[in-house]
């Protein structure tokens, strides 16, 4: 690998030398009165705080985040429409616990069911949507587990669409955070529903059970849950100054406690950490030498924005090492990996990310390829 030492300025350009301010001083994270919890950067996926985050626990109505995710997944692929009319079965109508009060034998718009699931935590709405998508709730549960596997939710297993207490139905704070992150990043067009404070259906107005929507104007989602076995649970997300955090708190003692404990995590995270954009999608970081091609160089950069979670008082510049492949041979397609960039210092690596070809380079003619092979031969000798 050919290595180039560069330095990232916080205005996202290269400067020479590395000058660091005093190291960031970050206190011990708050200890919450909860069975399990996690604080995650939504944009990078970095975990800032965790406690028993991979412990499998009853998720109660946090389960409905998966139910809503699958609806959004099918909407994005054109398999469903928010205007779809959903037939309400006797099973859906008879569901106990939290409900949106749909009636057997009627048809309800899928958009209303979505709000019933997200805002009112309707068990009846969840079953109706599950039956509409998969034919039965048990078949929908199988679909939930397939999606969980794709999302890397390794400590989750679902047997229903509601979170109603059932044997072998479990998840973890870490898995719920992964699911929340996927919902936010993959389906931003529907995410505004999670911030709505109330929903009225069948002349019955019900408030969103997420108290943080009233207490913290930066909070814009996501979902509550409660059963006797699970305790009071809350998955929440907030955005401040370009940084978005996700918290999942499971097993608190009351509705008020889950809001208070979640707020502690959010305040800690926003006070001491931030998401920084180091590179933009398509930004050129190197013009690499190409051998045997129709052109001598190829522009190298990033397929996506490069974001990193950092302490707020990090130094004014960040060292980065660009490791390019030693010999880059044509042909090259857009997106081919040509090396990697390592951001951070030894013992404190912030991230590693592949750098890719931003343009295609076709293979050169016979004499061009032969000439470059001869040049490479003699270069390698010396």
217 is in an annotated binding site: no
Q: Are 97 and 164 in contact (CB under 8 A)?
A: yes
Q: Specify whether 373 is catalytic.
A: no
Residue 98 designated active-site:
no
| DSSP assignment letter at 32 | P
Exactly one of 121, 126, 172, 262 is catalytic; which is it?
A: 121
Angstrom distance (rounded) from CA 241 to CA 221: 17
Find the catalytic residue in 35, 36, 64, 264. Answer: 64
CA 130, CA 217: separation in Å to the nearest integer?
A: 32
Cα dist from 191 to 69, 183, 248, 261, whole Å: 10, 7, 17, 23
Tell me the residue ranges of DSSP E strands in the chain: 2-9, 36-41, 47-51, 85-87, 107-109, 198-201, 204-207, 219-227, 231-240, 243-252, 273-279, 284-289, 297-301, 306-311, 317-324, 337-345, 348-357
| Alpha-carbon span 134 to 220, nearest angstrom | 30
Stated length of the chain: 382
Q: Where are the alpha helices (DSSP H) in 187-242?
A: 212-215
* Residue 217 annotated among the catalytic residues of the structure: no
Greatest alpha-carbon pair distance for the chain in Å reads 83
- Active site residue: 35, 36, 61, 98, which one? 61
Confirm if 298 and 332 have CB atoms less than 8 A apart.
yes
Measured CA angle at 45 (ends 348, 275), to 5 deg: 70
Binding site feature residues for substrate: 223
Binding site feature residues: 223
- Catalytic residue numbers? 61, 64, 121
């Amino acid at each position: 690998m050919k290595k180039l030492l560069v330095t990232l300025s916080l205005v996202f350009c290269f400067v020479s030398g590395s000058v660091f301010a005093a190291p960031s001083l970050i206190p011990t994270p708050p200890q919450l009165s909860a069975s399990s919890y996690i604080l995650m950067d939504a944009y990078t996926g970095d975990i800032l705080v965790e406690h028993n985050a991979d412990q499998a626990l009853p998720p109660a109505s946090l389960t409905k985040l998966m139910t809503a995710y699958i609806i959004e997944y099918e909407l994005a692929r054109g398999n469903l429409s928010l205007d779809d009319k959903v037939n309400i079965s006797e099973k859906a109508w008879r569901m106990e616990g939290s409900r949106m009060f749909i009636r057997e034998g009627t048809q309800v718009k899928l958009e209303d069911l979505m709000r019933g699931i997200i805002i009112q935590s309707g068990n009846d709405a969840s079953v109706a949507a599950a039956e509409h998508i998969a034919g039965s709730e048990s078949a929908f549960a199988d679909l939930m587990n397939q999606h969980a596997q794709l999302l890397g939710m390794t400590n989750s297993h679902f047997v229903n669409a509601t979170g109603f207490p059932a044997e072998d139905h479990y998840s973890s704070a870490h898995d719920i955070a992964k699911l929340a992150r996927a919902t936010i990043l993959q389906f931003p067009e529907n995410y505004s529903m999670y911030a709505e404070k109330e929903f009225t259906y069948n002349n019955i107005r019900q408030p969103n059970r997420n108290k943080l929507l009233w207490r913290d104007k930066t909070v814009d989602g996501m979902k509550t849950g409660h059963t006797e076995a699970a305790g009071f649970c809350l998955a929440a997300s907030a955005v401040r100054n370009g940084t978005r955090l996700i918290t999942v708190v499971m097993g608190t003692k009351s509705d008020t406690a889950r809001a208070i404990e979640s707020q502690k995590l959010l305040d800690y995270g926003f006070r001491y950490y931030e998401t920084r954009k180091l590179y933009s999608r398509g930004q050129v970081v190197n013009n690499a030498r190409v051998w045997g091609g129709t052109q001598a160089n190829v522009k190298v950069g990033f397929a996506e924005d490069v974001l990193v979670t950092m302490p707020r008082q990090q130094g004014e510049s960040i060292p980065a090492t660009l490791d390019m492949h030693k010999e880059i041979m044509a042909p090259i397609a857009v997106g081919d990996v040509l090396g990697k960039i390592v951001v951070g210092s030894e013992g404190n690596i912030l991230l590693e990310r592949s750098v890719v070809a931003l343009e295609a380079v076709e293979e050169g003619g016979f004499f061009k390829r032969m000439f470059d092979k001869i040049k490479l031969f003699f270069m390698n000798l010396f």
